[in-house]
Amino acid sequence: MLFEVVSPVTEQVIATVDELDPVDTERRIVLAQKGFESWRKVPPGKRAELLRSFARKVEESIEELALIEVKNSGHTISNARWEANNVKDVLYYYAGAVERLSGLQIPVAGGIDVTFKEPIGVVGIIVPWNFPMPIAGWGFAPALAAGCSVVLKPAEITPLTALKIAELAYESGIPENVFQVLTGSGSVVGESIVTNPLVKKIVFTGSTKVGVRIQTLAAQQIKPVTLELGGKSANVVFEDADLEKAAATAPYSVFDNAGQDCCARSRLLVQESVFDTFMEYFEQSVKSVRVENPELESSEMGPLISGSHRQKVDSYVDEENVMFRGHCPTGTGYWYPPTVLRVEDKNSKVLKEEIFGPVVSVQVFRGEEEAILLANDSEYGLSGSIWTSNLGRGIRVAQGIESGNLSINSHSSVRYWTPFGGYKRSGLGRELGPNATDAFCEVKNVFISTD
């Protein structure tokens, strides 16, 4: 069976891709197990060399990968280049980790105690449609470095860059069956990966609802899972902040990738004493966001991923609550304007649920304590920003917010060499950073008697 891939810019079919069934999926997992058995025996120096060669192939293909993503996902060309570069970067970074994968030697009486780190086996990586390239790379680069083989399942609607990356892996010399892309639906291919006993670890990025299902299925086999789930992060602006800078950058913290970003700061919390001044600056910056054809170098925001997703985003927007909006094209393409809402009801679904579009709600707070309470008034805890010129306050508030990734006077969320992941219903475990390979290793303790 084949399924169609549609461009969100032209609304036209741009490719057809295999829709695997459970039998195909099982066959590919058996091959991945064969791939694992050979890959784990590749000496570390050689494995590192092959990952560097894979990284170089990606590096040579940045422009091609970026253009595929622009067409398939509607990402702006500058974002798509960043995403492709991120895959190259994680491959180089974790190629270096192969040579540092070491166990411990622990002092004991009557002998020597050592620990080995052993690759866990076939790893299933299931990714969403919003950042197909980097999110896949955050899983497969450390997994391959640890000596695991990988079956990667892209989202149904955005499989094209994953398929290209698989070609690059083989061209770079990664042995057959070690890195495979399995296309198809979540309920068939995704669940077949999660429940197959040959798959020893699942890395899932996606909605909290599906994350719960995956953790439940994996629990039947005591299979470890890393879960990167939804977000509803706060952007907290204090009266002593550089208001112009905070307002100028705030649109990019929530409208980047058309708001289809788990780290989007979709709740803007502003201190009462500077509310009017800040909102004046913010309105100017929202209205200046360039929403246009994502292939243009000047484009700062593209369309939403699909017509049905646009309908879902729009269902959260009650015209009565709209403070102001930015601009977007009309006609073909799933466009949606940057939208700023003022919602008074603290229990409104606008404040509680992940909208995953270019929509931000604005709330007012009086002091530090209330800011922390409001920021934490969410089932999620993935990201967030704090704007203040008082570093002590910045740290106090960061310590008070239940979230895995915070930035003070900045909107950055991800650096591949620092850990990334969520509190509460935003996830379980951490990706990236120096310890990411541990998620793909079993630890074996061996005691050697000297008696």
Which residue of 53, 78, 85, 207 would you call a contact of ligand NAD, by CB under 6 A? 207
Q: Which of 213, 231, 359, 342 is nearest to 276 (CA)?
A: 342
User: Does 20 engage in binding with ligand NAD (CB under 6 A)?
Assistant: no
CA 362, distance to chain mean position in Å, is 25
132-146 vs 160-171: helix crossing angle, rounded to 10: 30
CB of 195 to ligand NAD, least distance (A): 9
Which residue of 249, 422, 439, 440 would you call a contact of ligand NAD, by CB under 6 A? 422
Provide the 8-state DSSP code for 300.
S
CB of 405 to ligand NAD, least distance (A): 9
Q: Which helix (H) or strand (E) holds 4?
A: strand 2-6
Instruction: Pick the stretch among 187-195, 244-252, 317-325, 337-345 that binds ligand NAD (CB under 6 A).
Output: 187-195
Which residue of 89, 156, 256, 300 would you call a contact of ligand NAD, by CB under 6 A? 156
Q: Is 427 helix (H, G, I), strand (E, B) or coil?
A: strand
Q: Which is nearer to ligand NAD, 47 or 309 (CB)?
A: 309
Which residue of 102, 187, 216, 220 would you call a contact of ligand NAD, by CB under 6 A? 187
User: Does 427 engage in binding with ligand NAD (CB under 6 A)?
Assistant: yes
| Residues annotated as catalytic (active site), given as ranges | 228, 262
Q: Which is nearer to ligand NAD, 198 or 364 (CB)?
A: 198
CB of 26 to ligand NAD, least distance (A): 15
Contacts 24+ apart (CB under 8 A), 386-395: 386/236, 386/238, 387/235, 387/236, 387/237, 387/238, 387/241, 387/242, 387/245, 387/246, 388/238, 388/240, 388/241, 389/240, 389/241, 389/242, 390/238, 390/240, 393/238, 393/240, 393/368
User: Does 262 engage in binding with ligand NAD (CB under 6 A)?
Assistant: yes
Segment 325-354, which members bind ligand NAD (CB under 6 A)?
A: 354
User: Does 182 engage in binding with ligand NAD (CB under 6 A)?
Assistant: no
CB of 418 to ligand NAD, least distance (A): 14
Segment 30-89, which members bind ligand NAD (CB under 6 A)?
A: none
> Could you tell me the CA-to-CA distances from 197 to 25, 26, 153, 317, 435 in Å, in that order?
13, 10, 17, 44, 26
DSSP 148-170: -EEEEE--TT--HHHHHHHHHHH
DSSP 15-59: EEEE---HHHHHHHHHHHHHHHHHHTTS-HHHHHHHHHHHHHHHH
Which residue of 132, 134, 147, 231 would you call a contact of ligand NAD, by CB under 6 A? 231
Instruction: Pick the stretch among 36-44, 87-95, 206-214, 234-242 that binds ligand NAD (CB under 6 A).
Output: 206-214
Alpha carbons 308 and 329: distance in angstroms, whole number: 18
Which residue of 153, 265, 411, 425 would you call a contact of ligand NAD, by CB under 6 A? 153
Q: Which is nearer to ligand NAD, 50 or 151 (CB)?
A: 151
Which residue of 190, 251, 303, 381 would you call a contact of ligand NAD, by CB under 6 A? 190
User: Does 214 engage in binding with ligand NAD (CB under 6 A)?
Assistant: yes
Alpha carbons 439 and 190: distance in angstroms, whole number: 20
CB of 131 to ligand NAD, least distance (A): 6
Which residue of 382, 397, 432, 436 would you call a contact of ligand NAD, by CB under 6 A? 382
User: Does 159 engage in binding with ligand NAD (CB under 6 A)?
Assistant: no
How many of the other CB atoms lie within 10 Å of CB of 252?
A: 15
Residues 6 or more apart whose Cβ sits within 8 Å of residue 225: 201, 202, 203, 204, 214, 215, 218, 428, 429
Segment 90-149, which members bind ligand NAD (CB under 6 A)?
A: 126-131, 135
User: Does 232 engage in binding with ligand NAD (CB under 6 A)?
Assistant: no
Dihedral pair phi/psi, residue 382, rounded to 5°: -100, -45
Instruction: Pick the stretch among 6-14, 189-197, 248-256, 438-446 that binds ligand NAD (CB under 6 A).
Output: 189-197
Which residue of 89, 228, 256, 300 would you call a contact of ligand NAD, by CB under 6 A? 228
Residues 6 or more apart whose Cβ sits within 8 Å of residue 32: 122, 149, 150, 151, 177, 178, 180, 198, 199
Instruction: Enumerate binding residues for ligand NAD (CB under 6 A).
Output: 126-131, 135, 153, 155-156, 186-187, 190-191, 194, 205-207, 210, 213-214, 228-231, 262, 354, 356, 382, 422, 426-427
